Every structure is written in C-alpha cells, then in structure tokens.
C-alpha cells in the first residue's frame, strides 16, 4: 500500500538536536533558559520590525494574553473573523467575553473591511464598543491590512493579528504579525516551522512583552516568597521546545520557498481544469507563505464537487481537508452575533486544502497530479 501523503507534516532541519543537547548538557530543562531567549531573538530578527517576542506554550495562549492586555473581560465584545480555526475565537470565551463574528471578502478570504465597519457601528449603536478586533492571515494570506487598520483606527479599537499560519508572509514588505498591537504565532506540529507545540506573542513594546511573560509565569510578584496580586497562567515555552524552534529558524526561509513552490505546482496542475481556482495573492502587495494551498471548485463548471475530489484523494491515502468551517456556523457559537453575507459559508462549501508540506517528494507530487487528472478526466 502506498505511503500516506499528509496535508502538512513536520519537517526537521537537522540542527534541532544540537540545541536540545545543549539544554540537557547545561541542565536548562525548564520554562526559561538560553534557548527561550535565543528563539525570541531569532524571531525578532526574522520579523525585522521593532517588536518584542514572548515565546509561549501555544498560539492560543498568545491570543489569550493579548486579549487580557487589551483589557477584555467579562461581558465585553470582541470582533473576530468567522473564517478561521476555533483557537482564534476560544480565548474570547476564556475571558467571559462575546465574539462578534464578521464575514470574509473574496480576495484574501479574510475579514471583510466593509462588514467589519458595519459590525462596529451596530455594536456601538447597541451600547457596546468592541474591545478588540481579531483579524486572521488565513492559510498564510495577509488580510487587507490597510483597509482593516483604517477602520480600527477610526473607532480606536486595537487589532490583534492571528498570524498563527503566516510566519514568513508579508504585506507591502512588512511581516505578518507586526501590524497590530499584538500578533500571535503558532509552532504547532503542522505549521511552517514547529516546536512540536508552542507559540509566541509579538508585542510592540517591551512593557507589553514583560507583562505577557509575567502573566505566563503564574503572575508571581517581586517578593522572596510566592505572592500573587493577579491571576496568572502556565503559558511559558520550555527551553527544550525552544531548542527545536532555534533549529527550525535556520531553515525557515527554505520552508517558505518550498510551500510557495507547492502552490506553483497546483497553479500549473489546475491551469487547464475549468471550474477550479487556486488560492493566490490578489496583488503584488501580498506575499503569502502558502502554509496551506487551497482551491475552490465550482461544481457547475467542473462537474465535480469538493467532496468528490476529497474522497478520491482519500482512496489513495492522500490527505486533504475542507476549509475551516466558519465560527458563526459552529454549534458552540450559535448564539454569537454575525455580520456579513455568505462569502465564508460558500468558501467552506466549495473549498479544499491540499497537501502542502515542504517535505513532499516528486513521486508524491506525481501521485497527487495523477489523482487530480483522473477525477477531472484529463
């Protein structure tokens, strides 16, 4: 039986073990140490902006701490892109706040600036100004930064960027994750680089980073004994996993290039198949890491549905997945407000994420191409 082709699997560079061994040899087996400091510096240098980075246990933890620092608490409202993974929205609920979901636009599949302003106006009219805006760089594609931030500034609402999928992506040359008051990164096992599990909070000031680290290490006051004046969390990254991250940072540029090459492969593969559109940058202002390559299938034109292709792939042990099911359609958020039309819903109904790993071989690409051509009669 053929080996399984994964959607997005970890891809080690080789030097990760060097940093892990250094941690063991120096006995820095704790949620602090030289690898944590070094990984944060590596990320700051890569992002190439005047930012400070706090290495954490997960991207979800980064979003949670960002919401806390933006003053989100019980009874507040937070605007959130509906077309995303649940980890974007869940921390809003952790804080006892209500997510207000907003539809996508068709170019970047991210939060629609027009629907965003409609949502803000209506929530203000109903008596509550949203405390923050959570905008996502979906599958590595930057959202419409200029338009979204113009709306945010107009109403003086801070933006938290969910850049979990977008390390290595840029908009007008500036790194995703560095535009908002905060940015969240993820190093989960399926991301463009991994620490097995982990994340980071990108901050605009040292004060914001220091507060995040304070909250992430159980909010211990400066005292000889254990004293606490705030509720804290166990969210700091370990020195071991940070060692994996340091090794991964050495190959990040190669990983971005390989993911983008997979997107080019799909553009060529589907070029002559009517009714199938590959998700690509709308203009040269956008540079996506193409963490996941995705397609939309117009079944009326293509004669096949998203499910036809997904199930055909499955028969040949090729993993593909529908796009994220929008949050406003999820049972857990059934009672949350929603603004916009059906863009996100239609993306979910017709979209498919394709194998995008940086470690895919020529033989695996040939298997993918053969299956696609068989399904569409090419």
Q: According to the model, what pLDDT value does residue 2 have? A: 77
Q: According to the model, what pLDDT value does residue 213 have? A: 97
The reply to whether 140 and 241 lie within a common domain is: yes
pLDDT level of residue 49 (50, 70, 90 thresholds): confident
The reply to whether 57 and 135 lie within a common domain is: yes
The reply to whether 245 and 320 lie within a common domain is: no
Q: Does residue 96 lie within any of the structural domains?
A: yes
Q: What is the CATH number of the domain that holds 333?
A: 3.90.1150.10
pLDDT in tens, 316-361: 999 999 999 999 999 999 999 999 999 999 999 999 999 999 999 9
The residue ranking higher by pLDDT, 80 or 31, is: 80
The reply to whether 218 and 155 lie within a common domain is: yes
Q: Does residue 342 lie within any of the structural domains?
A: yes
* Mean pLDDT across 235-246: 96
In angstroms, the Cα distances linking 37 to 52, 218, 254 are: 11, 19, 23
Beta strands in the chain (DSSP E): 52-56, 77-81, 98-102, 132-136, 159-162, 170-171, 174-175, 182-186, 199-203, 276-278, 286-287, 293-297, 321-322, 338-339, 351-354
Beta-ladder partners of 55:
200
Contact 4, 16 (CB under 8 A): no
pLDDT in tens, 154-200: 999 999 999 999 999 999 999 999 999 999 999 999 999 999 999 99
Longest dimension (CA), the chain: 73
Q: Does residue 105 lie within any of the structural domains?
A: yes
User: Residues 314, 318, 319, 320: is their CA dihedral positive or negative?
Assistant: negative
- The domain boundary residue, chosen from 218, 251, 284: 251
In the predicted model, is pLDDT for residue 138 greater than 80? yes
Q: Does residue 5 lie within any of the structural domains?
A: no
Q: What is the CATH number of the domain that holds 34?
A: 3.40.640.10
- The domain boundary residue, chosen from 219, 251, 283: 251
The reply to whether 88 and 158 lie within a common domain is: yes
Q: Does residue 1 lie within any of the structural domains?
A: no
The reply to whether 84 and 223 lie within a common domain is: yes
Residue of 205, 145, 149 lying closest to 175 (CA atoms):
145
The reply to whether 95 and 217 lie within a common domain is: yes
- The domain boundary residue, chosen from 251, 281, 305: 251
Q: Does residue 316 lie within any of the structural domains?
A: yes
The reply to whether 208 and 321 lie within a common domain is: no
The reply to whether 272 and 160 lie within a common domain is: no
In the predicted model, is pLDDT for residue 28 greater than 90? no
Q: Which two tokens stand for residue 222?
A: 């400066």
Q: According to the model, what pLDDT value does residue 378 have? A: 77
Q: Which two tokens stand for residue 166?
A: 């977008």
Domain assignment of residue 276, given as a range: 253-375
Q: What percent of the chain has pLDDT over 90?
A: 95
In the predicted model, is pLDDT for residue 104 greater than 70? yes
Q: Does residue 134 lie within any of the structural domains?
A: yes
In the predicted model, is pLDDT for residue 64 greater than 90? yes
The reply to whether 80 and 198 lie within a common domain is: yes
The reply to whether 70 and 196 lie within a common domain is: yes
pLDDT level of residue 1 (50, 70, 90 thresholds): low
Q: Does residue 6 lie within any of the structural domains?
A: no
Q: According to the model, what pLDDT value does residue 48 have? A: 86
- Structural domains counted in the chain: 2
Average pLDDT of the residues of the chain: 96
The reply to whether 272 and 367 lie within a common domain is: yes
Write out the DSSP string of 151-212: HHHHTT--EEEE-TT-TT-EETTEETTSSSSEEEEE--TTSSS--SS-EEEEESSHHHHHHH
Q: Which two tokens stand for residue 309?
A: 């292709």
């Amino acid at each position: 039986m053929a080996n399984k082709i994964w959607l997005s699997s970890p891809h080690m560079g080789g030097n990760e073990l060097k940093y892990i061994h250094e941690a063991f040899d120096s006995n820095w087996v704790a949620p602090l140490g030289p690898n944590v400091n070094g990984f944060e510096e590596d990320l700051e240098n890569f992002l190439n902006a005047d930012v400070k980075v706090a290495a954490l246990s997960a991207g979800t933890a980064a979003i949670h701490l960002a919401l806390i620092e933006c003053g989100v608490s019980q009874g507040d409202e937070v605007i959130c892109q509906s077309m995303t993974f649940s980890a974007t929205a869940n921390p809003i609920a952790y804080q006892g706040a209500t997510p207000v979901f907003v539809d996508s636009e068709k170019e970047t599949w991210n939060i629609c600036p027009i629907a965003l302003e409609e949502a803000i106006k209506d929530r203000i009219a109903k008596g509550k100004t949203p405390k923050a805006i959570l905008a996502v760089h979906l599958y590595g594609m930057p959202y419409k930064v200029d338009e979204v931030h113009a709306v945010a500034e107009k109403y003086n609402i801070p933006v938290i960027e969910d850049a979990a999928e977008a390390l290595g992506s840029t908009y007008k040359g500036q790194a995703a994750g560095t535009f908002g008051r905060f940015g969240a990164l993820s190093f989960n096992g399926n991301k463009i680089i991994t620490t097995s599990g982990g994340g980071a909070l990108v901050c605009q000031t040292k004060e914001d980073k220091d507060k995040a680290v304070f909250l992430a290490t159980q909010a211990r006051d400066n005292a000889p004994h254990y004293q606490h004046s705030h509720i804290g969390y166990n969210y700091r990254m370990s020195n071991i996993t940070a060692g994996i991250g340091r090794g991964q940072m050495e190959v990040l540029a190669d990983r971005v290039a390989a993911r983008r090459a997979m997107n080019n492969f799909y553009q060529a593969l589907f070029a002559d198949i009517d009714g199938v559109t590959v998700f690509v940058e709308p203009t040269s202002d956008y540079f996506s890491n193409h963490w996941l390559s995705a397609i939309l299938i117009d079944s009326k034109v293509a004669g096949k549905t998203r499910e036809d292709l997904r199930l055909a792939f499955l028969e040949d042990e090729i993993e593909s997945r529908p796009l994220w099911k929008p949050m406003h359609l999820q049972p857990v958020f059934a009672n949350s407000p929603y603004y916009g039309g059906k863009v996100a819903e239609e993306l979910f109904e017709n979209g498919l994420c394709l194998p995008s790993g940086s470690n895919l071989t020529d033989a695996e690409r040939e298997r993918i191409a053969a299956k696609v051509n068989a399904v569409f009669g090419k």
